[in-house]
Amino acid sequence: MLNLFDAVALQRYKSVSCASLTNSRLRSYFNACFQDCIDRYGVFQCWACVGCLRLGHSTCGWGSPPASCPSCASSGVLYEIATFQARASIVGAAFASAFRVLMQERFHIPLVATPGNTRTHDFEVAADVAIEVKGSPSVIRNPDGTVTKLGRPGLERSDTRKKAFDNARTHRQRRPDSLFFIVSNAVPVDLVGYRSRDVSAVFDATKIQRIDALATEICDRVGLRGEGA
């Protein structure tokens, strides 16, 4: 039985695979998967007024907190509701499922999710290829139509980038002969085409040529016969 993230990804992939995949369609695919999962779990940006709560009623809204409460006119007591941590894990799972479905449906490459005690990477292909995925949206739409900008997505976040490279280093120490790929929907300029002793390659999942290249490297390594859509 498909989990929610896989079901969303599969449905969205079917809607974009009816035509030739392009960079634009890949971006739309991942963004739609992000938004669908945010909608399902309700992890939008929203705020509440503590001043109103003290008075025995509630005032809240979507998006960033306003300068003052539209109900009690208080300022300095409006706080964003802490949905960030929940949203981070949800969009991470959405990206992982969207990437797995893309590789399975387009190339027939089976990505095996690693068990929970494997902290260095998300997927494996046979025993020779490890893949760490780091994806997140740059914006989300709230139920009232407002748009929340989330800042730096994917590998553009310095802490996300550091975690991925630390994982690559740890994995290389444990399995020095395997390949370690990092995949994201947002790759900064200095990581385009990046390779090192620890990181076999970095791939942008929204670039069709890069995804094709990733599939070729995997198939060459493990002897699979990948097939494009």
Task: Give residue-wise pLDDT tens across range 81-137.
Answer: 978 889 999 999 999 999 999 999 999 999 999 987 788 999 999 889 999 999 999
b/e map 190-227, b = 16+ CB within 10 Å: ebeebeeebbbbbbbbbbbebbbebbebbbeeeebebe
In terms of Cα–Cα distance, which of 185, 178, 156, 146 is closest to 61?
A: 146
Over residues 29-50, mean pLDDT: 96
What pLDDT is recorded for position 162?
97
**pLDDT above 50 (res 172):** yes
**pLDDT above 50 (res 229):** no
Amino acid at 15: S
Q: Which two tokens stand for residue 177?
A: 């002969």
pTM of the predicted structure, to 2 decimals: 0.92
Amino acid at 116: G
What pLDDT is recorded for position 225?
63
Return mean pLDDT, the chain: 93
Q: Which helix (H) or strand (E) holds 43?
A: none
Beta pairing partners, 113: 123
What pLDDT is recorded for position 227?
60
What pLDDT is recorded for position 17?
83
b/e map 45-57, b = 16+ CB within 10 Å: bbbbbebbeeeee
What pLDDT is recorded for position 1?
56
